[in-house]
Amino acid sequence: MSNLTKAERSSFFARLPQAVVPDAHALAAPEPPSLLFVLACGIVRLALDRFGKMGADFNSPGEAEPSEEAKGLASFESILFTVQCTERFGFLEETVYKRDAFMDDLTFAVHAILREIAASDLEQRRFFLFFIDEYNARGDESSRCKWESADEESRWNTFPYEYGKRLMNILWQRIDPYRLAGLVAMELDSVAGLVPLAKAVIEKYEPGSGTYPLKLT
């Protein structure tokens, strides 16, 4: 069950497209930001750049531009997807022992950034529980689906394509196979560009060193 009401969720998603992610140093002040926090800011900023600021570029002729709430929800889904991909592709054999601690810190940092820029009116613990519930739900889905396909036909049932279908239903309430393929390719390209940075951050990360300087109350 969501820890936010329907109205609170709608308000958060509607505000998210216009939110601006400040420089990591400004958000973390007076403490210097950890590399993990810089990564978290980058994940949020990339999603907002892709979906929060989208106009009619992705639309078919005569198709209405998605609402602000739909853009915000798509941005939120993109953030969750990128965090899931960081967990799946960011760890090497020599860094896998850091996975649990790193992902705990990363998800906390991402949630804190989102609350700071678009949900500061909401009580932090409720927003945190909402975020974790949504993140865990996507994790359960990713564990049930294959990430890669053995052939062209089965790719439509992989986790990246299930994610792409969710995005299309959010933004346009229908599935267009050609636009779906392009959307998934765009998201995977974005993840591929982020993974080397994530690996470098993970290599330097030490458990307990990457949390956002905002405590649950």
List Cα–Cα distances, 22 to 25, 29, 42, 153, 212, in angstroms.
8, 11, 10, 42, 14
pLDDT at site 57: 62
Instruction: Kindly state the tokens that stand for 183.
Output: 């959307």
pLDDT at site 127: 95
- All residue ranges of the chain with pLDDT < 50 are 1, 212-217
Number of domains in the chain: 1
Let me know if residue 211 belongs to a domain: no
Let me know if residue 1 belongs to a domain: no
Q: At how many degrees (to 10) do helices 68-89 and 6-15 cross?
A: 80
- Residues sharing a CB contact under 8 Å with residue 172, sequence separation 6 or more, in sequence order: 59, 63, 66
CA distance 167 to 180: 9
Let me know if residue 123 belongs to a domain: yes
pLDDT at site 52: 83
Let me know if residue 214 belongs to a domain: no
pLDDT at site 200: 94
Show the domain range for 51. Answer: 6-204
pLDDT at site 24: 87
Let me know if residue 149 belongs to a domain: yes
CA distance 135 to 141: 10
pLDDT at site 213: 46
- Residues sharing a CB contact under 8 Å with residue 145, sequence separation 6 or more, in sequence order: 157, 158, 159, 162
Note the pLDDT tens digit of each residue in 182-204: 889 999 999 999 999 999 999 99
Let me know if residue 213 belongs to a domain: no
Let me know if residue 93 belongs to a domain: yes
pLDDT at site 209: 60
Let me know if residue 215 belongs to a domain: no
pLDDT at site 145: 79
